[in-house]
């Protein structure tokens, strides 16, 4: 049985086949690419980028981007505890935001696919 045939049967576990033991540079680069691919965080990366964008929020919550908390005499400790980034990343289903949990097509879908691969599952779904 050929090496390629064995690698193909093992559920896409192998991305590359090395034919010579002396090719250490290629082996190292391949391992590093694999590690980098496993550390991708599509949803968190999209959330960080979203938090940097200027937005207009028109929903009923008064904590939009922590504006009401910053000026509050009553809940300053909440801002000190959580920090401003948690409020900068605020999004809602009604204002668009990042993606949809019901029909993901962007970073949530990619994150679910990566999670399923990590769990050894066919599919993984995120819920709140």
Alpha carbon 16 to chain centroid distance?
A: 25
- Listed by start position, the domains of the chain span 1-39, 41-128
The overall pTM is greater than 0.75: no
Tell me, what's the pLDDT at 13?
59
Tell me, what's the pLDDT at 111?
94
pLDDT per residue rounded down to tens, the chain (128 residues): 665 565 556 555 556 666 666 677 888 888 888 888 888 899 889 888 887 877 666 656 556 667 777 777 787 787 788 887 777 776 665 556 678 888 899 999 999 999 998 899 999 999 87
Tell me, what's the pLDDT at 10?
54
Tell me, what's the pLDDT at 23?
76
């Amino acid at each position: 049985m050929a090496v390629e045939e064995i690698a193909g049967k093992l559920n896409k576990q192998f991305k590359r086949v090395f034919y010579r033991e002396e090719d250490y540079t290629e082996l190292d680069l391949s391992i590093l690419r694999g590690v980098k691919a496993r550390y991708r965080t599509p949803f968190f990366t999209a959330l960080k980028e979203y938090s940097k964008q200027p937005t207009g929020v028109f929903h009923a919550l008064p904590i939009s981007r922590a504006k009401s908390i910053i000026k509050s005499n009553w809940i300053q400790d909440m801002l000190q505890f959580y920090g401003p980034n948690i409020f900068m990343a605020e999004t809602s289903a009604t204002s668009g935001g990042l993606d949809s949990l019901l029909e993901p097509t962007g970073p949530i879908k990619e994150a679910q696919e990566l999670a399923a691969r990590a769990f050894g599952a066919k599919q993984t779904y995120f819920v709140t």
